[in-house]
Amino acid sequence: MNKVFPKGEDGCIAAGPKALPGGEGDVPHSLPRFLVARCGDPASWIYADQKCDGTNNCGDCSDELSPVTVCPACGPGWWRCPSTVFIYCGCIPRSLCRDHVQHCSDWSDEYACPGP
């Protein structure tokens, strides 16, 4: 996750609603727009190739879940479930299934997932 905050009048990083003019974070002007994806938090952005990669890059899962992002269904190496692991959003790697550790809030990774 990338956050770029403008500097305050005293040269320190500004904080609060005034820190983000227009409610949006600053994206480096040297990057072409197609390389950048916005997160649910307007002050955050990620590189476009981090969107829909199965990992919570934005910190709020907006790069993986609706309504901010529409991603395809989980791939063959993934299990769809409400994840309890911060790094994953709507899918977990099947390698985490049936390992005697809860990774899905409904425990489906231990009882329903066929495993790797």
Given the candidates 4.10.400, 3.40.190, 1.20.1260, 3.30.70, the CATH classification of the domain at 73-115 is: 4.10.400
Show the DSSP H helices in 1-116 as ranges: 108-111
Q: Per residue of the chain (116 residues), what is the pLDDT tens digit?
A: 555 434 444 443 333 222 333 445 667 778 888 888 888 888 888 899 999 888 899 988 899 887 777 888 888 899 999 888 888 888 999 999 999 999 999 999 999 998 87
User: For 69-87, b where at least 16 C-beta lie within 10 A, e where not — what string?
Assistant: bebeebeeebbebebeeee
Distance CA 5, CA 12 (A): 10
**DSSP label of 93:** E
Per the confidence metrics, is the pTM higher than 0.95? no
Q: How many Å separate Cα 72 from the centre of its chain?
A: 15
Residue type, 72: P
What is the residue extent of each domain of the chain? Answer: 22-72, 73-115
Architecture of domain 22-72: Irregular (4.10)
